[in-house]
Amino acid sequence: MRVFGFLTVYWRDMLRYFRFRTQLFSSLLQPALWLAFFGIAMAANFDRIMMGDTGALPGVPSVGYFTFMAAGVIAMNVLFTNLFGGFILLFDKNWGLMREMLASPMPRRDIIFGLCLSGVTKSSFQATVIIVIGLLLGVAFFVGKTAVEVAGSLVGIFAFIAVFAIGFLSLSTAIALVTESPEGFQGVTTLLTMPVFFASNALYPTDAFPEALQWLVAVNPLTYLVTGIRHFAIGDHFTAIGVEYLTTTGDIALAFGALLVFAVVTFALAWRTVERAVIT
């Protein structure tokens, strides 16, 4: 009978999500601004650097930087939403409902389940908005695909986003449960943001990175999410800013598998942490 406890946690988190209009609005506007300013500005830069040479290969579609980085902006937004998404637990622990939840008969893992579900919802919602805004601004996603193919691609994109969201949201809740202050939480998550975001293929190709950094890129979940989004949104074989991107079905399965492993590990960590949580 206590199977759906996570829906209670989810319900409440969604209430809060849609209650703070300014926060909701800015969380949607921010990626749009990234696209509009960083995307368009950098696209111009890259075009100048490449001096008209798009590095296109015969027979392989070539996409502009703007389209290339749009996938990265979606991934970045999903990353930030979920990496900070555990904050509510810190808030609850210090000023809110944590005691009520911990003393209730709801299994404690449902706290994590519920927040994960809400992270997936928020991420999907935000990704949808970014995709729509991006398409309006001229992002070349889903070029030459039929409606059915687009639907298939979206399923792929959202599956990647969901697993990635669960992974980082779990990590975030675990951090929130062990840190004591908002400052501490902010400190740890911000520290994580840097390597995850910059040692990835979100905004630029990583081929020319030094080896140590290459290694970091290879274990970075964000890399796998971006790869997945590009595969489904742009295609399995394209060139962008002079680099060839080729992803086989096997590559994508591997990327998805890597994200699954990441999500399972962090979920287990969060579960363990919440089971041991005591109020202080």
Partner 1 sequence: MDDAIIRVDGLRHRYGDFAAVDGISFTIGRGEIFSFLGPNGAGKSTAINVLTTLLRIQEGTVKIAGHDLASDPQAVREDIGIVFQEDTLDRDLTVAETLEFHGRLYGLPRAERAARIAELLELVELTGWAKVRTKRLSGGMKRRLEIARGLMTRPVVLFLDEPTIGLDPQTRLRMWDYLQAVNREGTTIFLTTHYMDEADRLSDRVAIIDHGKIIAEGTPLSLKNALGEDIIMLCTGDDRAAEAVIRGMEGITGVKKDPAGLTLLVAGDGTHVLPVVMHRLEEEGITVISVNLKKPSMDDVFVHFTGRKLRDNSAGEGH
Q: Which spans of this chain sit near partner 1 (rule: CB under 8 A)?
A: 1-2, 5, 7-8, 11-12, 15-16, 19-20, 92, 95-107, 278-279
**Closer residue to partner 1 in complex, CB, 5/228:** 5
**Closer residue to partner 1 in complex, CB, 2/187:** 2
Strand residue runs (E) in the chain: 62-63, 237-240, 243-246
Task: Choose among 214, 213, 172: nearest CA to 190.
Answer: 172
Q: Write out the two tokens for 57.
A: 């290969």
Q: How far is the CB of 12 from partner 1 (least distance, A)?
A: 5
The sign of the torsion formed by the CA atoms of 158, 159, 162, 167 equals negative
Q: What are residue 202's phi and psi, to 5 degrees? A: -65, -45
Q: How far is the CB of 4 from partner 1 (least distance, A)?
A: 8
CA distance 190 to 197: 10
Largest CA distance in the chain: 65
Type of residue found at 68? F
Q: Write out the two tokens for 84.
A: 């900070």
Give, as one character, the DSSP assignment of residue 35: I
**Closer residue to partner 1 in complex, CB, 148/278:** 278
Please list the helix, strand and coil fractions of the chain in percent, rounded to the nearest 5, in that order.
75, 5, 25
Q: How far is the CB of 202 from partner 1 (least distance, A)?
A: 32
Q: How far is the CB of 279 from partner 1 (least distance, A)?
A: 5
**Closer residue to partner 1 in complex, CB, 89/229:** 89
**Closer residue to partner 1 in complex, CB, 100/207:** 100
Q: How far is the CB of 11 from partner 1 (least distance, A)?
A: 7
**Do 245 and 261 form a contact (C-beta atoms < 8 A)?**
no
**Closer residue to partner 1 in complex, CB, 11/37:** 11
Q: How far is the CB of 186 from partner 1 (least distance, A)?
A: 20
- Coil, helix or strand for 241? coil
